[in-house]
Every structure is written in structure tokens, then in C-alpha cells.
Amino acid sequence: MSDPTPSTSSAAAEAAKKPTVIITIGMAGSGKTTFVQRLNSYLNTPGVMPSSSPPLAPPDQEVAETAPAEPKGKGKERERRPPYIINLDPAVAHMPYEANVDIRDTVDYKEVMKQYNLGPNGGILTALNLFTTKFDQVLGLMEKRAEEVDYIVLDTPGQIEIFTWSASGAIITDAVAASFPTIVAYIIDTPRTTAPATFMSNMLYACSILYKTRLPFLLVFNKTDVRKHEFAIEWMRDFEAYQAALASGGAQEEEGGGEFEDRGGRGEATYMNSLMNSMSLVLDEFYKHLNAVGVSSLTGDGVDDFFSAVSRAREEYMADYLPELTRLQDEKASKEQARQEGNMDKVMADLSLDAGAGRRRMRWAEEEDDVPIEEDEDEDPGDEEDEDEGEEIDLSRRGTADGIMDRARAAGGLNTGPASNWARPG
């Protein structure tokens, strides 16, 4: 990380006063909406917020390096305050919380489907795109409420790719992250990720979102009331444990297996197994940068841990993301300034050229009875081959106005009537 510059420290001071934005992302049915409702009910219940003690992170993670002793900018014993909730899912049928901003109030995705002749996913995507065109207003509302809330929570559409791989998702994420300390909470359906292959595809997705957004990232293993998430923590901590589970095929047998069948049979080295083996080695590095918590959105178990992890992720935003953002903004501003100065230089150069050309034209005009001449069209008036294009021009014979007029007349481009008046170039 670079040394703090004045703009970095002023941006940090500004950001320290702002609420934390939590963007919930996850596969369809992972429990995003229920999770948002759980956060809502937790923050609406009188009590104090937990401190930023280490959450259930993979044990080999060097927590001390990324976690400062206490969160800055906010008191240690913070009272809970109701969050500000934004629903970005136009297709949600039942919403257990009352959103402060609801995309459904702005766009009706079923109407969008009809008007644009789209299927459900296309309709949701287009509805989100339409809403994004107004997102500056949402940002304005968030800024307005910034003093009164500690958390702004975003619920995203069911189909994960609608938010994570669409232009509107990127615009919303970048806009929010540029204005507020922002973290991504990646919700995982724990009981449905017990198969090593499903676990891996979920982790790959998480990895792609982490590297795309570069925001502080929290893995939230949801539905721990149904299945504890310890197995996942162990797989993240120890790739050999993951590979052993893969080899035994044990996890795939639970709850009907995952999305991928172990087609080679128990323990047999299939292509899928060898791919998963390699991926587990690749993802080992990725896991080191992650915080993971187990939560039950149904019972509320683990929500304290989640908020502790959020405090730490906020610090991460301030320490890593914000200086980088400020640096990029400064870089962009100085590039823009350089571009404008370059344009100005070009304009000045053009002006001086024009001034020179103007003087030259004036001289010629005096010599040639005030008839302006284009250099490459001027030839000897007496020459038979005058009309041929591309012939060499003898400037020394540039001569009388008559000659010029003859040539122009011969070329058929000159109105030689009494009112003839050539437009002057430049």
C-alpha cells in the first residue's frame, strides 16, 4: 500500500463517517433475502454491536495482519440502529422485510418482459438495467440517510449472473463502492454445498466475484441450522482434506449428491476429480484472503460473528480499497487534465497555423487581385493539359487572375457570373 497522500487521508476521513454497505450476492435460493431480513431484525432489536473480534476464519489465516485491534471511527459499544435496505430483485415474490428503496416501485419486470418480448431472466436483467439508469438518485438517497444508519444492505436478484456479470451490476457496485465503505457478503447454501464438486463451483464463483469487484469479501455459510459449515472451513484450510473427500466421493452421497455426479464411481479418478484436485491447489491462495462465517438466517445463529467480520472487512476497505480508489481517481483526474492541456496546445497550434496561413493568403490575394487560391489546384493557364488532374504544379508560374479563372472555369467548378463570390477558406 502506498503512503497516504492528502487526498487519501481526506477521503479516509470522509469514508470513516459513512455507513457500511453490505452487498449480498449468492446463488439462487441460497437465502439472500432471508439473510437480509435476519440482518434487519438483528439491527432493529435493541442491543450493542459486537466488536471486530476474529470471526470463524480459516485457522491458517493471519488474522492479526488484517485486523486492527479496534475499529476506528466508531465507538466500541455501538448501539444497534435500523439498517437502510435496498431491494434490487425485481422478481421477488415475497419480501419478508420492508425495503427503503425497492426496484419494484420503479420497474415492473413482467411489463418489461411483455414490452421487450423477453423471458423471465431477460426481463429481470432489463429491469435492473432500467433501474440502473436512475441509480444516481438512489445514491443521493443513501447519502441523505448516511448520518442516521450504520449499515446499508443491498439484496440482489436470484440469478447470480444477472448482478455479477451484467453492466448494471458492475455500475451499481462501483458507484456504491466509490461512495461508501462497501463489502460483499457471498451467501452460500451450506447443505447444498457438501458435495466437493458443488463446493468447488461455488468457490470458483466467489473467486471470480472477489477478483472482479476487488472489494472486501465475506463468505457467509448460510443455513447452518440444517448443516454446520465446519466441513467447508476444513476444506478451505486444508486442501488435502478436500482431496480426500473428493477421492472418497463421500460428500457427494449426501442429500442426493451435488450438481455433479461422481460418474467414475466411488474414489475413481475421473476427469472431474482430477480437475477438482487441481482447482483445490489453485484456490488455496484465494482462501487465504477470505473471511468465512457460518450463519443461520432462520434462527439468527452466527449473526454476531457476521457483524464482527463486517467490522474487519470495513477496515480492510479503508486500508486497501480506498487508497487504491483515491489513487485511481487522482490518476484519472491528472490524465484528464493532461488531455485537456494537450487539446488546448493543439488548438493554440492550429490557431497559429491559421494565423500564418491567413497572412499568406492575404499576400497572395493582394498579388492576385484578391482571388484566393488553393495551392494544389493552381496551374499554368496556357497549358493544353491543364485539365488533367494530378499534374505537377509550377508555382513559379502562378500568375494572373485571368489564368486562375480560366483554369477554374475549365474545371467547371466556377460560377463566373457577375455575382460570383468564392468562399474564403479558413
Ligand X SMILES: Nc1nc2c(ncn2[C@@H]2O[C@H](COP(=O)(O)OP(=O)(O)OP(=O)(O)O)[C@@H](O)[C@H]2O)c(=O)[nH]1
> Does residue 29 touch ligand X according to CB under 6 A?
yes
Q: Which residue is nearest to ligand X (CB)?
A: 158
Q: In what order do the strands lie in the sheet with 151-155?
A: 101-102, 84-87, 151-155, 20-26, 182-189, 217-222, 291-294
Query: Which one of the spans 47-55, 165-173, 218-226, 331-339 is the region binding ligand X (CB under 6 A)?
Result: 218-226
> Does residue 223 touch Mg ion according to CB under 5 A?
no
> Does residue 33 touch Mg ion according to CB under 5 A?
yes
Selected binder of Mg ion within 18, 24, 30, 32 (CB under 5 A): 32
Selected binder of ligand X within 19, 55, 89, 206 (CB under 6 A): 89
> Does residue 365 touch ligand X according to CB under 6 A?
no
> Does residue 297 touch ligand X according to CB under 6 A?
yes
**Packed helices 196-213 and 271-287: angle between N→C axes, nearest 10 degrees:** 40
Comparing CB distances to Mg ion, the nearer of 162 and 210 is 162
Query: Which one of the spans 291-299, 361-369, 393-401, 418-426 is the region binding ligand X (CB under 6 A)?
Result: 291-299
Q: Which residue is nearest to Mg ion (CB)?
A: 33
Comparing CB distances to Mg ion, the nearer of 32 and 312 is 32
User: How near is the Cβ of 306 to ligand X at its closest, in Å?
Assistant: 12
Selected binder of ligand X within 12, 21, 22, 26 (CB under 6 A): 26
Size of the site for ligand X (CB under 6 A): 17
Residues binding ligand X (CB under 6 A): 26, 28-34, 89, 158, 222-223, 225-226, 296-298
Task: Report the interface residues with Mg ion, using CB under 5 A.
Answer: 32-33
